[in-house]
Structures are given as C-alpha cells and as structure tokens.
Amino acid sequence: MNVIHSLTLAQMRAKPRRTLTTLIGVALSVAMLTAVFAGADSFLDLMRREAVATLGSWHGQVSNTSEAVAQALAEDDRLNQVALAANWGLDPAEDGSFTGTSLFGVNEALYELLGVECVEGALPENSHQLAISRELAHLTGWTVGSQVTLDLVRAWSVSGVEPDGTPFYRAETGQWSPSPTGFDHTDEVGSVRFTVTGVVELGAFSNGFTGWLPCFTTLDSAPADSRWNVYFTMRNLSHEIWNVMDDITALQQSQDPAYDPGYYGRATNRSLLLYAGVDEEGSWLLTAFYSLMGVVLAVILIGAVSLARNAFSISLAERTRMLGMLASVGATRAQKRRSVLFEALLLGLAGIPLGLAAGCAGMAITLPLVSAQVQELFRFHVPLYLSVRPLPLLGAAALAALALLVSALQPAFRASRVSPIDAIRGAGEVRLRPRSLRTGGITRRLFGFTGALALKNCKRSRGRYRSIVFSLALSVVMLLAASGLSYYVDQSVAMRYGRDIPPAHATVGLSDPAADPTPLLAEMQSLPGAGTCRITGGIDVGMMGSWQVSEQDLSAEARRWLTERSEYRVQMGLEPLAAEGVYTVQPALLVLEDEDFAAWAGRDVTLRTDLLDCVLVTDNYLADLGSFARLKNALRIEEGFSQTFDQGENRFADTWRVAALAAEAPANSGDTTLAGDGLTVQLVTSRTVFEAFLARQAAAGRTGSYFWTVLYTEAKDPVQLQESLLEWVGEGDGQENTYRSAGSSDMSSMQSFAFLLRVFCGGFVVLLCLVCAANIHNTVSTGFELRAREYAMLRSVGVTPGGFARMLRLESLFYGIKALCWGLPVGLAVLVAEHRAINLNFYSSFSVPVWGFALAAAVVFGVCGLSGWAARRRLARQTIVEAIHTTVL
Amino acid sequence: MELLRVEHLTRHYGEGAARVVALDDVSFSVQKGEFVAIMGPSGSGKSTLLHLLGGVDRPTAGRVLVQGTDLYAMDETALAIFRRRQIGLVYQFYNLIPVLNVQENLTLPLLLDGRRVDKDYLERLTGTLGLTDRLNHLPDQLSGGQQQRVSIGRALIANPALMLADEPTGNLDSRNSAEIMTLLRHFHEEKGQTLLVITHDERIARQADRLLTIEDGRITRDEAVRP
C-alpha cells in the first residue's frame, strides 16, 4: 500500500460514520441486485422443477413406436439417458370396478426421467416381478408379495378417432369395441404370472389411457411386437435436439412398419427447453421476463450510482485540500485519481460480498414465506425456495462493481485535476455564482433571513443539491408507483370479487328459502381452521323485476362506460346495453343478519316490514363480458323510490322500496355484491324484513327461486380450512335440499397476486428508499460538516442556537419541498399510466391512494429531517472556537 | 468610563497530564474609547483571551463584564443576541459567509436581529471601506484586503460597544495591512470605537493607546503607548 492508499484509508477511518453509511448503501444496492438475480433464478428454477414434476425431466420423447426405433435411439451418442417403456398390453378388470391394468416393461432410466418412485418394497429386477401403482394397490388389494396373473391383450388403433393409440374398451360391457375406422387391433398376448415386489408413486408417468392403471416389470421379456415409448435427455441440451427429433421421424418412417404419418407421437418437454433457451417459439415469455428484470435492475442501478457517485464526490470535497497539498509536493494526476478509485475498490471489496450475502439471506427468508401464494397463483405443485446458480450471483457482483467504477470515474478525474492552489484556497467548494444563489423575496418574507440563508446553502453546490433532490424524488416516485399498483390491483379485485372476501369460504344454497341455516353455520364454525362465520343471502339479479331509465338519469361516467361497453358488444355481434338510449336496470338483493345490517347501515336506519324495505348502495360495481367498473352514483335514485315485481304464477311477488341510501356495500358480503352484466343496483335488507317478506309470500301460497344463502368463514388457518371445507362441502352437497361449494379459487389467486405484488413492491421500495436515505444522509450531513466553520462564524456574529437550528431545519425542509415538487408530478404521471393500464378491463374513475402521497411526504421529510438533526447535534457539540479552528484536511 | 472588565479569567484545555493552561488568572479593565493592542509569542494565550472577551468560548473560571453585563452568566441565546448587538469580531482569515454577497455579509448582524438597515449609514460605511462598487460580489470574488474590509464592516455595522480583532492583518501584504490599520484607527479616532487588537506586528501595536503583553497565559506587561 503506497502513501496515497494509506492516506485514503486514513481519511475513510477518520469519518467512520460516513464510510459506514456509504458501505451500507453499497451493500443494500448489491443486496437488491442480488435479490433480483436470485429471485429470477429461483423462479426459473421453480418453473423447471414444476415442469419436471408434471412432465418429467426428459427433453424429448416418441411414443407408440417400434422396438427398432427404440433401440436406435438407445444407441444414439447425442443422447444421455434413454428411458424405454415397452407396452406389453392391457388387462381389463374382471369385476368392472375400474377399467383395468396396463403393463409396461421398462428400464431403470424410466423411473428416473419420469419421477416414478418406489414407496414400498423394491422395483422389479426381472420379468417375473411387478411394481404396481399406489392406486392400483388400493383398488385391487394387491400388496408386496402378492402373486398376480395378468391376462394381457394388446389393443390399439393406429389411425382414426383415437390417434394416440388409446384402445377402445367399454368397461361397462367388458367388450372391446371396434373403432369407427375399423383400424383397431386386439391381439391376445396371454397370461403372465408376476410377484408384486414394490408399490410406486407414478410421478410424471402417464400411459395416456384414461382409466388404465399402469404397472411395471423389467424390459427384457417384452413381447416381440410390443409398441414402445421412448423418453430421452440430451447429452448437451442445445438446438441439436431439433435434429434429433427430425432423425426420429426418419427412423419411424424407415424402422417402423406400423408408422402412421397422421399420428405424430413425438414431443419435446417445451417448458424445460424454454428455460434452457432452446425453444424459440416460447422465447417471448423469457424475453418479457428478462425485460421486466431489466427495468427493475435499471431503477436499482440509478439509485446505486447516484449514491456511490455522491459518496465519492463528498469524499473528494473533504480531501481536496489534502490532494492539493499532495500535488504541491509532487503527486501526479494518476496518483490523485487512484485515491478515489482506491476508495471505490475498498468499498466494493467490503460491500459486494456483504450485499451478496444479505440479498441471498433476504430471498432465502422471503421466498418460502410467499411460496404458498405463488403455488396458489400459478397452480404449481412444487414449493418456491431460494435456488441460485453461481453465474447470476457473479452477474450481480459484476454489475455492482461496474456501478461503483462508473460512479467513481468522474470524481476520480476531478481529483486528478486538484491543484496546489485549491489547497490554499480552502475546502474545495465549487466556485459560487451570484445568479445561482439568488433567492426569491417570497422565501425571505415567509421564512425570514435564516430561511433565505438556508435556501442559499441548499443551492451553493449544484451537484450536491441535484443529487439530493434526485434521490428524494426517486424515492417519492417509487413509493407512489408501488402504492398505486397495490391500490389499483386491490380496486380491481374488489370489482371482480366484491370486497374483503375471506380467503376461504363456502356457499351453501338452500332451495327452501325459509329453511334455517343456523345449524349449518354451527357446523361450519366447528371446521378445523375456521374463524368467524357469517351468513348472508339474497335474491339474484333479474329475479326482482327491472325498470327502465334514460341516459339523462345516468351520471356522465356511467354513460361513458355503458356506451363503451355497448359499442364493444356491437363489435362482437351482440345486443347493445341500451335500446334507443333506454337502459334496463335490474336490482339484486342482499340479506344481512339483523346485527350485521345494523352495524353496516347504522342504528338510525329503520326498515318497514310490510314491504321489502331496503337500503340502496349508490357505489355501483358493474360487470360486462369480463370488463368491470366501479361507478359512483351512477343512477339518480331518491329515497322512497319503489318498484313492484312478480316472478310469475305462485312465485314471489312483492314491492320493494328504497328506505335509505348508502355509498359503500357491506364488507364481507363477498361476491354477493357482484352484479350481473349490464346496469344493476344493489339493495340490502335485514333478516327480519326478509323473513316478514317470506311469511307474506307463504301466506299467499307463493314460493321463490334464485334465492341463495351464503355462509362465510374467515380463516384462522387458510390451508387447513381449505382442506376441511372441501371435505365438508363434498359430504353435504345435495343433501337436505342444499347444495354446497367451496371458495372461489380464482379469487384467492387474485388475492395471492395482490399479496405478492405488495410483498415484492413493498420490499423493493423499502430497500430503494434505504439506499436513497443513505445517500441523502451522507450528503446532507457531510454538507453540514463541511460548513462547520461557516456555521461557527454565523454563531459568532450572533446567530442564536434556536436560529441556528431553525436554519438547518429549513435547509432540510427546502430539500424535501423541492423533491416533492419533482417527485409528485412524475409520480402522479406514473399513477395515471398505471390506472390507464388497469382501466382497460377494470373501469373506475381516476382516484389516487392518498396514503401513498402521505407516506411519500413523510418519508422525504423524515429522511431529510433526521439527517439534518443528526448533523445539527454533531455541530452543536463543537464550541465556536473549535469549529473556527477546524481546517478540513 | 469602564467598558470592559476581566476578573480572574482562566482557561484550561484537556484533562490530567494533558492539561494545558491557556490563560491563567488574568484580570484587567478597558475604558470606553480605548485602543488596546495585545502582543505575545505564539501559544501565549492571546487568541484564547480574545475569544473569551468575544463570548465565543467558555472560561474555566473568572468573569468577563461588558458594560457591566457578565457574558458568561447569560444563556446561549441571550449571549448570541448580546454578541450581535454589542461585540464586533474580526478574524485573521476573514470568515465571511461564501453564499452571501458583500452587502449581506456586511449587514448580517442586523439581518439576524431583524433590524432595518440604515441606508445612509451603510453607504457611508461602504464608502469608507472602499466597497461601494463591490456590494453584489461574493466573497470569493474579492481580494484578501477587500474581504478583510468586509469583515471589519460586518463587525461595525451594529455599532457595537466593543470591537475585537484577531491579527486582522496577519494574512495580508504590507500595503493592505497599512490600509486596514488606517481604517481601524479611523473608526477608533472618529467614532470613539473601543478596540482590542491582537497582533504580532510591533508597528501596529505602537499605534494603540495601550499595550498588553501576554506570556504563558499571564499578562506580564501593561503599558501606555500613547498617553
């Protein structure tokens, strides 16, 4: 280490707090880069594992081919593992309890490539031994050691309706039936006796024949004219696989007399090929994935470079005098330049490994936490966990190193230009220009002289000022973008599925509306994993009559949405929503338990029981052909509005009336608030009013349909509840005039998506804000420290401690205000873009997440205020004399 | 009339074996309108004394009374306000605020006090200081002599009772030094400004009414230069 390096190190040690803050900032940036790389790699790995779990780890396959083709492939050098399955034949079940058994002679590679696992006993070692699937063991009662005889028949069609070779067999008659084309074959193979040696999980193995349960023996004694299935992996997975597939076609043509050109029989494991970059057709998916990753990386890099560049500039400002002195005793430009680069090297050496470890640790904790939601969202069978290869980690490290180098370059070149005169002149401030320091009269009037002085201080170093404002504005934009995304997705989920739906719920329909659902509620309440249970009910859209409104009765927003939908309908060749400017409005009724109703509507809303008295929800959630809208006060309806409806002879007939209006539909009303297509309104009434209505109907000998009851439960343990609900629903469906169904999985997918979005956006924004905070803290506090002497000077000419604190506070405030001036409009533009993108399917008038703005402002002023406060405390500890004598070296 | 009274003023730095006695039981007084020069070798405690007189440091013991007000009996805020109204400080390295222009630097104590600047007085002062055409310049656009003139103006703008200068010519060439001393003498003679100047320069010291010599933190000589 030469003298320049020693001095640089000493300088870094002399400012431990700043060095540590910069180091944390660098480590956080690297951690974020690592998290993106590790997250992306883990996700790709998850998809690879999912492909292996569902299809197997083979790269290509050919089915229903000849032994010659199979053997040729087994000897092909380009292939690594070749799994062979010779189809011995089928044995229909004698008692007709299931279709039957299909026997395959297989080699060991098959078990591996298709994930067939022995769970009991051992895999067969000769052609007298048999491994059976667990399901087959369950259906037949066969166990390890059982002696079984299979009466095998080979049956397939080589052409026609069933091109995959599925045999025609009717379990109910026990007859092989001829295919319509007459090309099917049935050959007796004969009886073969086996000893069951093992029970297997089938993994990704499928014989493709519905109902025929596979069992396996060894390959050696397969009947001579068996049809074979071949699965293989490539020695090197590359585009060569397409040549192999072409060669297979040629082989089939030349080596398989029964080859049917109409039956393709060849396939590749597309997902695996896609993730290896071999499948070009699906590469757009990876391109999209990597593009998204690129955008996220770019944002992180902007934050990281801004932080690092600023840190080096600060460090340079602190060292200008020292460098000038070094120059005066003969330090060359290169030596001065190396001083900054050496600092970058040290920060990189410490920060990059730290960041890599932190990023991996963060993802190792986060990914398993969100695994359940990811599985739910993408219907994956395998869990998500951290799985990262060395290359992406190296990529993150290289990118971080590059960012550090880029950040250090300009300060390094500035350092090389420091002259001896800079050492004499002072602390290396940039030359000030009166114009750039001009402050408006308003500032002085509003904040006094100390305010004007604070603003001049902000503006004195344009680079530092811009860097702080940029970092802060970036934080504001990111916070707004993340809060907007979360807000609009939540809004869309609400439009599509109603509000606040518990993740697991059951629908219990009672065909007799008067039936008491309370015993069922008690039953549901006792389910393992269930939380609070609720009952709602109602009458469907369209079953309570309708009335017509003209366009003038609609709000401008509703008119616009309905017109757009009508135009779309016409394009699709459907009826428009309006007929000559007249829309049909249909109500849907929601019945709440009395307590729930009172809690929602307020105690002062009283309903009459002599008619169907309701509260009308003015916030309309509308749906039309997969497009959704949330419209406020779409319809002009006054209290007292009433309608009469009649479902027909001996069916419900009554009058409903609007007793009061409410803006929001009740929470936990689930998809009951989801209206049908077109213009619908939501009515809400209490159980008492509804029971009085039922009593009136019963007295008049009327009965209703399209009435439903929904039991909702919140989940204490969602996974357990989901399982117990499914069982409960399965047990009771169709009994006692009820039908049951368990929670909508679509909805929980959307909720999982919203949750994941919040976790990842939240995590990303928090980390980015921390990087920005480190940057701001460094800049603000060093800015204050560099001016310690000036501040002491101000104090010596009579600035009071209070005035001094006020000045520094105002300086922080001005940074915050300026950042908001830039950040809020840009953030708002991002929100508009997000809203527009979501509005394509989920229409709502533009609104913004107010909490997002509040959060952004709080973060900005919080970070600035804290940095200023910390610097102020340090400065206040120095006496004026100490500070005046401080010479920044 | 006594303007400044110093009683048993002591200042230590450090603790234990590292303790340095910068000022050791110093007492003296200064009459209103007096021009006092303070001389002594480096490290004798001159600057410490001046800082304590200016209220920018805290004594270990003793009192400083300016017009009967004990500086160190006041809290920080009261002392700061007292400083900007009653004491003018001039430093060797000018210590101007780089973001403020000449006029703002000059009027800084008034601006901090929220007082209106007397334009006539400012014009006369800047005229005397030779800064009339430099009012909108920033400090780094001025020469060393000009910067020191701004700092003298800043010290005088509030009409302080006491003006203290710590080697005001220490950073200037002989021509600029002579100009600065002429100015200081002008304010002393024409306005009756009480003035305490620390200097190494015997020629400057000889222009004062009285010369205090400090050695090892003690006043070793107190002599009248010009009776």
> How is B30-65 classified by DSSP, letter by letter?
EETT-EEEEE--TTSSHHHHHHHHHTSS--SEEEEE
The nearest CA of chain B is from the CA of A815 a distance in Å of 17
Tokens of A689: 């009013």
For residue A425, give the amino acid letter.
Answer: R
- According to DSSP, the residues that pair with B164 across neighbouring strands are B89, B196
Type of residue numbered A263:
Y
A460–chain B Cβ distance below 8 A for any pair: yes
> Given this model, what pLDDT does residue B227 score?
60
Q: What is the ipTM of this complex?
A: 0.74
**Does any domain span residue B136?**
yes
Domain assignment present for residue B192? The answer is yes
**Which chain A residue shows the shortest CA-CA distance from B160?**
A797
CB A643 within 8 Å of CB A587: yes
Residues of A in contact with B140 (CB under 8 A): 425, 431-432
pLDDT for A179: 46
Report how many Cβ contacts below 8 Å link chain A to chain B. 85
What's the token pair of residue A745?
A: 């999985």
Check residue B60 and give its pLDDT.
Answer: 92
Look at B99 and A437 and tell me if their CB atoms are within 8 Å. yes
Residue linked to tokens 């060749």: A573
Q: Which residues contact residue B75 at a Cβ distance below 8 angstroms, ignoring those fewer than 6 apart?
A: none
Indicate the SS3 state at residue A149. Answer: strand
Q: Which residue, of A268, A296, A331, is where some domain finishes? A: A268
Which residues on chain A are in Cβ contact (under 8 Å) with B81?
Answer: 798, 800
A383, A400, A428 - which closes a domain? A428
Q: Is the CB of B74 inside 8 Å of chain A's CB atoms?
A: no
How many structural domains does chain A have?
4
Task: Indicate whether A276 belongs to any domain.
Answer: no
The whole-angstrom distance between B158's CA and the closest CA on chain A is: 10
Tokens 């209490």 label which residue?
Answer: A686
Q: Which long-range contacts (CB under 8 A, 24 or more apart) does B182-191 make?
A: B183/B128, B183/B129, B183/B149, B183/B152, B184/B152, B185/B35, B186/B128, B187/B152, B187/B156, B187/B163, B188/B33, B188/B35
Give me B142's structure tokens: 């001025």
User: Is A856 in the B-facing interface, judged by CB distances under 8 Å?
Assistant: no
- Residue A642's nearest CA partner among A587, A713, A698, A599 is A587
Angle (CA) B95-B96-B98 rounded to 5° is 120
Q: Examine residue A689 and state whether it is found in any structural domain, yes or no.
A: yes
CA distance A887 to A427: 8
B17 occurs within a structural domain: no
What does the DSSP assignment read for A470-502? HHHHHHHHHHHHHHHHHHHHHHHHHHHH-SS--
CA-based nearest distance A437→chain B, Å: 7
Sequence-separated (6 or more) residues with CB below 8 Å from residue A281: A270
Q: Domain for residue B175, yes or no?
A: yes
CA distance B34 to B163: 11
Taking CA–CA distances from A437, the nearest residue in chain B reads B99
Q: Which of A456, A789, A802 sits opposite B100 (nearest CB)?
A: A456
- Assess if residue A55 is contained within a domain: no
Residue A201 included in any domain:
yes
Query: Looking at the structure, do residues A558 and A595 belong to the same domain, yes or no?
Result: yes
- Same domain (yes/no): A94, A193: yes
Cα–Cα distance, A494 to A486 (Å, whole number): 12
3-state class (DSSP) for residue A533: strand
**Do A768 and A692 lie in a common domain?**
no
- A790/B137 CB distance under 8 A: no
Whether residue B112 and residue A797 make contact (CB cut-off 8 A), yes or no, is: yes
B45 and A CB contact within 8 Å: no
- Are A352 and A401 spatial neighbours (Cβ–Cβ below 8 Å)? yes
Distance from CA of A11 to the nearest CA of B (A): 25
- Put simply, whether B112 touches A (Cβ < 8 Å) is yes
Q: DSSP characters for A110-148?
A: HHHHTT-EEEEE---SSTTEEEEEHHHHHHH---TT-EE
Compute how many other C-beta atoms are within 10 angstroms of the C-beta atom of residue A581: 10
Which token pair is B75?
Answer: 């809290």
A46 and A65 in a single domain? The answer is no
Q: How many CA atoms lie within 13 A of A405 on its CB side?
A: 6
Work out the end-to-end distance of chain B between its first and last CA atoms, rounded to an integer number of angstroms. 16
Beta bridge partners of A590: A538, A684
Choosing from A745, A766, A792, the residue where a domain stops is: A745
**Continuous H helices in A329-461:** 333-378, 390-416, 420-425, 441-459
**What is the mean pLDDT, run by run of 10 residues, along chain A of 889 residues?**
77 83 85 88 86 87 87 91 88 76 90 90 91 88 90 62 46 49 61 92 74 86 84 90 90 81 75 78 70 79 80 78 73 82 90 93 88 76 87 90 89 81 53 66 77 78 75 82 80 62 60 70 81 76 81 84 81 77 84 86 85 88 73 84 84 89 72 54 88 87 72 69 72 59 52 69 76 75 74 81 82 87 91 82 81 87 83 76 59
Same domain, A696 and A759: no
Measured between CB atoms, which of A450, A456, A796 is closest to B83? Answer: A796
Our CA-based measurement puts residue B57 at a distance from the nearest CA of chain A, in whole angstroms, of 6
Q: Which of B72, B83, B89, B99 to mutate to test the interface with A (most CBs of A within 10 A)?
A: B99
Q: Are the beta carbons of B140 and A796 separated by less than 8 Å?
A: no
pLDDT at A422: 62
Cα separation, A889 vs B6, whole angstroms: 36
- Residue B107, domain member (yes or no): yes
Contact assignment for B84 to A797 by CB distance below 8 Å: yes
Interface mutation vs chain B, best among A421, A455, A793, A888, most B CBs within 10 Å: A793
**Gap between the Cα atoms of A124 and A113, Å rounded:** 17
Least Cα separation, residue B135 to chain A (angstroms) = 11
- Residues facing A533 on adjacent strands: A713
Find, in chain B, the residue whose alpha carbon is nearest to that of A884.
B95
Q: Does residue A548 sit in the same domain as residue A462?
A: no
For residue A737, the model assigns a pLDDT of: 55
* Rounded Cα–Cα distance for residues A536 and A883 (Å): 72
Residue B133 sits in a domain whose CATH number is: 3.40.50.300
* Within a domain: A794: yes
Q: Are residues A509 and A606 in the same domain?
A: yes
The residue ranges of DSSP E strands in A511-563, in sequence order, are 530-539, 547-550
Task: State the burial class of residue A804 (Cβ atoms within 10 Å of its Cβ: 0-12, 13-18, 19+).
Answer: buried
What's the pLDDT band for B20 if we cut at 50, 70, 90? confident
What are the C-alpha distances in Å from A724 to residues A517, A529, A543, A719, A731? 19, 8, 33, 9, 11
The boundaries of the domain holding residue B187 are: 33-55+85-224
For residue B225, the distance in angstroms to the closest alpha carbon of chain A comes to 30
Mutate to test the interface with B, among A796, A811, A882, A888 (most CBs of B within 10 A): A796
Same-domain pairing of A139 and A237: yes
Instruction: Looking at the complex, report in whole angstroms how far the Cα of residue A435 sits from the nearest Cα belonging to chain B.
Output: 10
Tell me, yes or no, whether A273 lies in a domain.
Answer: no
Domain that holds residue A25: 1-50+284-428
Region at A701 (left for phi over 0; alpha for psi -120 to 50; beta for the rest): left
Q: Is B188 on the interface with A (CB under 8 A)?
A: no
Q: Do B97 and A431 lie within an 8 Å CB cutoff?
A: no
Please indicate, yes or no, if residue B216 is contained in any of the structural domains: yes
Q: Can you tell me the distance from the alpha carbon of B24 to that of B61, in angstroms, rounded to the nearest whole number?
A: 9
Residues A486 and A595 occupy one common structural domain: no
CA distance A482 to A476: 10
- Number of alpha carbons in the 13 Å side-chain half-sphere of residue A528: 7
Interface contact B76-A790, CB threshold 8 A: no
d(CA A479, CA A481): 5
- Residue A580 shares a structural domain with residue A637: yes
How much of chain A exceeds pLDDT 70, in percent? 82
Residue-level pLDDT at B29: 94
Residues of chain B in contact with residue A797, where contact means CB-CB under 8 angstroms, are: 83-84, 89, 108-109, 112, 154
User: B85 and chain A: CB distance < 8 Å anywhere?
Assistant: yes
Which residue of chain A is at minimal alpha-carbon distance from B101? Answer: A434
Q: Are A205 and A104 a contacting pair, CB within 8 Å?
A: no
Asked if A570 and A627 sit in the same domain, the reply is: yes
Are A761 and A711 in a shared domain?
no
Please report whether residue B139 resides in a domain.
yes
Beta strand ranges found along chain B (DSSP E): 2-13, 20-31, 35-39, 61-66, 69-70, 87-90, 162-166, 194-198, 210-215, 218-224
Name beta bridge partners: B14.
none
> Could you say which of A449, A797, A801 has the minimum Cβ distance to residue B76?
A801
Name the domain count of chain B: 1
Q: What is the pLDDT of residue A210?
A: 60
**What does the CA dihedral A663, A665, A671, A676 come to, rounded to 10 degrees?**
-40
Confirm or reject contact between B91 and chain A (CB < 8 A).
yes
Tokens at residue A544, please? Answer: 């309570």
